[in-house]
Amino acid sequence: MPKKIMYCIVAGAVLILAVWYSFFRSGATEITNFPSSGTDIIAFGDSLVAGTGATDGNDFVSLLSQATGREIVSLGVPGNTTADGLARIDELDRYMPKVVLLLLGGNDHLKKVPIETTFTNLGKIIENIHSKGAIVLLLGVKGNLFGDKFEPEFEKLRDKYKTAYVSNVLDGLFRNPKLMEDSIHPNDAGNKVIAERIYPVLAPLLK
């Protein structure tokens, strides 16, 4: 067998194993509503979901859509806190959600919202999404540059509600000018990193 073909086979096998490893590591075998009978994939959140800082088509939601071959509805509103997200969660009623990528919390930190309030709101949003028969893919963000108080709380939500989960999607991006458009928002390269972190967990949920 030619070496090039053998290399492609081995590389493909490694990729599949990596995807499934991430899937099982995320607790996907026990994820609420998996497999979901819904049809729509939705990203719900703040400016990171809206793609602030990225050029057209290079935000992580668009990149995930390209990678999965599935349309992903972007419901990102810049500046949204978890309270804002909870107030507009009924936007999902226009769809038949299968998987909802949930990314909120960064603006709560910036606005010094009490951490208890932030994660109570996120819990209510998750409950609402679950009530629609959809899977939640919870996307974590860091709550402090020096010591992260958010990650343990995100993990509690993951365990309590049995969501799929990707921790701190912005890990390693801050203060890296090659990955950031400004002090808060990733550029095209940063969004590519985020999409690559999410894809291995998202892809098996769509099967």
pLDDT of 147 = 62
pLDDT of 106 = 95
Residue 67 CB-density burial (10 A; 0-12 exposed, 13-18 middle, 19+ buried): middle
Structural domains counted in the chain: 1
- Give CA–CA dist 187/98, Å, rounded: 28
The whole domain housing 43 covers: 3-205
Q: Tell me the average confidence (pLDDT) per consecutive run of 10 residues in the chain, 207 residues long.
A: 46 46 51 98 98 98 98 98 98 98 97 97 98 98 77 97 97 94 96 98 96
- Give CA–CA dist 60/45, Å, rounded: 12
- Give CA–CA dist 172/192, Å, rounded: 13
CATH number at residue 84: 3.40.50.1110
pLDDT of 25 = 46
pLDDT of 143 = 76
N- to C-terminal Cα separation, the chain: 32
pLDDT of 145 = 60
Provide φ and ψ at 83, rounded to 5°: -65, -40
**Rounded to two decimals, what is the model's pTM?**
0.86
Sequence-separated (6 or more) residues with CB below 8 Å from residue 35: 205, 207
pLDDT of 173 = 95
pLDDT of 12 = 45
